[in-house]
Chains A and B, each alone.
Chain A
Amino acid sequence: MSILFKGRRSGASDTNISLLQTLVMVLVSHVRQALHSLGELWRQPAASIMTIGVLGLSITLPSTLYIMVKNTEKISAGWEQASEISLFLKTDTSPASAQQLLTRLSTWSEIDSLTYVPADDALKEFQHLSGLGDAIAYLESNPLPDVILVRPTEKFAGPKAAESLLQKLKQQREVDIGKLDIEWLERLYAVLDIVRDLVTLIGGLLFIAVVLIIGNTIRLNILNKRDEIIIMKLVGATDAFIHRPFLYTGFWYGLLGGVIAWMAVILILWWMDSSIQAFAALYQKDFAITGLSGSALLTMLALSVGLGLAGSMISVQRHVKEIEPK
């Protein structure tokens, strides 16, 4: 493209080549610049490793925390299913009205299953389990109420939903007391919520730090190449052309940093696995820690590359413009 001289052909348009060839040329030139940027990193190993290391470790921390939260959620998900509501019926409830209540409840969509434990059965069970044996036979009347065990459906098993279900059940006139022993579960969820927020916060802060670090590293690279940039501008290089190698440098920082983070996460999980197994064994739980899934891994790499690119973009936008031939 020539602005001053109409009809003066230049560059790719100078010789008659096909669109495909032009595309191939653009691709080749990008690959060449990408490899050149990688070569530059290779030639200054100390500086590059430090930058890549900072980036990698900055991504490792939130990634590891993310895995922790994920796994805690996985364990507690098992407990959540167990949440069960015990309904103690009023002592004057007749077996017939207890049956009525059961029929009514069985139509509720929130409820997965119901178990009716009549007072007599409960007493027998108590007699059997408590070891008090015949002593119980001396009781004048059965002090135990009828009990209905309500197991909510999966959707209503969470602390909040189960709590509202409990309130609804308590309003039934036959019900004396309803009990949902999930306060500890609520607390765990509250803690998990805080931890998740913290992970997001720490992640966000570290990501900003990474962008700033990469930006500064690229800024130094740009200043080091001041003379070269001036010469390129003198012979007609566009800003985009001058930006490209630095953007590729940012890309490589991101990719290599992501790979380091990935390896660090694997190492940390491997190191922690035995202690987690020992912990799980104490609770007689068969538990295998879940690492990063394929898509999470790709997300991590993409995030890392994105951060590298963002840092270098901010830097080239600001600093290449400042360098002008005088």
Chain B
Amino acid sequence: MIKFEQVSKTYPGGQRALSKVDFHIEKGEMAFLTGHSGAGKSTLLKLISIMERPTVGRVLINGHDLNTIRRRDIAFIRRDIGMIFQSHQLLMDKSVFDNVALPLIIEGYTRKETTKRVEAALEMVGLSDKSRSLPITLSGGEQQRVGIARAVVNKPPLLLADEPTGNLDPKLSMEIVRLFEDFNQAGVSVFIATHDLGLIARMRYRTLTLKQGKMITDGLTDSDLEAD
């Protein structure tokens, strides 16, 4: 599903964010990406969503080389990737319903279909009763769930999450991760970047660890990760 081939990224100014990263996440797999701040997690996710382009190497999604994607096609690529952000990225002056409906309106769904899908997505994240509220009136955990509902509302085959549990307490974090597990069970590939090692330790999922731009471990969680 996601394949990195000898990917390096150097930002203008010489800052080396990733060097020769190689990995492959299979279709329907759920994996975590971890590492300290500045290890290159965000850069790696940005290469998948084409917010940045690799300096060297290839990033492939479902066998398609992202280097060959033209600028004007990027929008269509992003419709296939559900993205979840630490900062939620919600429209604060629009209702929860309108926020979740945004990807569907962009894709030109009918009003009826939009309503149906948005309600289903809000149901999944347990916010059915908040659809008319403004995001500003919701708690951090609820806002994050609105972001998740928006990411899954058009049923993308791939979910990317950047620090989705960043500001949440362990209990809420666990609820969010359970949500991702549900989507994963429905066949969606899920890739989560987090520095919340405690969260990862409680589960047994494949974990990729970055350190100073290099991939240092790739495999199941083990105890030495927590020591790192």
In the bound complex, how far is the Cα of B187 from the Cα of A141, in angstroms?
A: 123
Give a binary string over A225-261; 1 marks a CB under 8 Å from any B CB, 0 the rest: 0001011111111110100000000000000000000
Contact among A26, A235, A238, A326 with B103 in the assembled complex (CB-CB below 8 Å): A235
B residues 114-161 near A (Cβ < 8 Å) are 150, 154, 157
Q: How far is the CA of A287 from the CA of B89 in the complex (A)?
A: 67
**B90-134 interface code vs A (CB 8 A; 1 in, 0 out):** 110000000000111111111101000000000000000000000
Contacts of A10 in B (CB 8 A): 79, 107, 154
Q: Which residue of B lies closest to A15 (CB)?
A: B113
Contact B107 A25 (CB under 8 A): no
B83 engages A26 (CB within 8 Å): no
Residue among B61, B75, B154 making CB contact with A4, cutoff 8 Å: B61
A-B contact pairs, 23 of them (CB 8 A): A3-B64, A5-B80, A10-B107, A12-B108, A12-B110, A14-B109, A14-B113, A17-B110, A21-B110, A25-B108, A26-B108, A29-B105, A230-B89, A231-B90, A231-B102, A232-B106, A234-B49, A235-B106, A236-B106, A237-B106, A239-B72, A324-B51, A326-B51
State the Cβ distance, B36 to closest chain A Cβ, in Å: 21
Are B51 and A238 interface neighbours, CB within 8 A? no
In the complex, the answer to whether B110 meets A4 with C-beta atoms within 8 Å is no
Q: Is B69 an interface residue (CB 8 A)?
A: yes
- Residues of the B chain whose Cβ atoms lie less than 8 Å from the Cβ of A228: 91
Which residues of chain A have a CB within 8 Å of any CB of chain B? Answer: 1-5, 8, 10-12, 14-15, 17, 21, 25-26, 28-29, 228, 230-239, 241, 324-326
CA distance A235 to B80 in the complex (A): 9
Of the candidates A14, A15, A28, A239, the one having the most CB atoms from chain B within 10 angstroms of its own CB is: A14
Beyond A8-B157, A10-B107, whether A232 also contacts B80 by CB under 8 A is: no
Q: 0/1 per residue, B56-78, Cβ < 8 Å to A?
A: 00000110100001001101111
Secondary structure class of chain B's binding surface, majority of residues: mixed
A residues less than 8 Å from B106 (CB atoms): 232, 235-238, 241
Among B90, B91, B106, chain A packs the most CB atoms within 10 A around the CB of B106
Give the CA-CA distance A17 to B108 in the complex, in Å. Answer: 12
Q: Are A236 and B51 in contact (CB under 8 A)?
A: no
Report B-chain residues with C-beta under 8 Å of the C-beta of A5.
Answer: 62, 80, 157
- Is B80 touching A325 in the complex (CB atoms < 8 A)? no
Complex contact A4–B62 (CB within 8 A): yes
B94, closest chain A residue (CB): A228
Do B76 and A11 have beta carbons less than 8 Å apart?
Answer: no
B110 near A238 (CB under 8 angstroms)?
A: no
New contact pairs (12) apart from A3-B76, A234-B78, CB-CB < 8 Å: A2-B80, A4-B62, A5-B157, A11-B109, A12-B107, A17-B110, A28-B111, A232-B106, A234-B85, A235-B103, A235-B150, A236-B103
Q: What residues of chain B lie closer than 8 Å to A29, measured between beta carbons?
A: 105, 108
Q: Are B80 and A25 in contact (CB under 8 A)?
A: no
A170 to B32, CA, bound (A): 103
Find chain A residues with CB under 8 A from B102 CB.
231-232, 235
A238 near B80 (CB under 8 angstroms)? no
Q: Could you tell me if A238 and B75 are in contact, using CB atoms closer than 8 angstroms?
A: yes
Q: Ordered nearest first, which 3 A-B pairs have the shortest CB separation?
A: A11-B107, A236-B79, A236-B78
Interchain CB contact under 8 A, A12 and B109: yes
Chain A residues within 8 Å of B79, by CB: 2, 10, 235-236
Closest to B61 in A: A4
B155 to nearest A CB, angstroms? 9
Partner of B75, one of A12, A28, A231, A239: A239
Shortest CB-to-CB span from B17 to chain A, Å, is: 13
CA distance A12 to B105 in the complex (A): 10
Q: B157–A231 contact, CB under 8 A?
A: no
Which chain A positions have C-beta within 8 A of B73?
Answer: 3
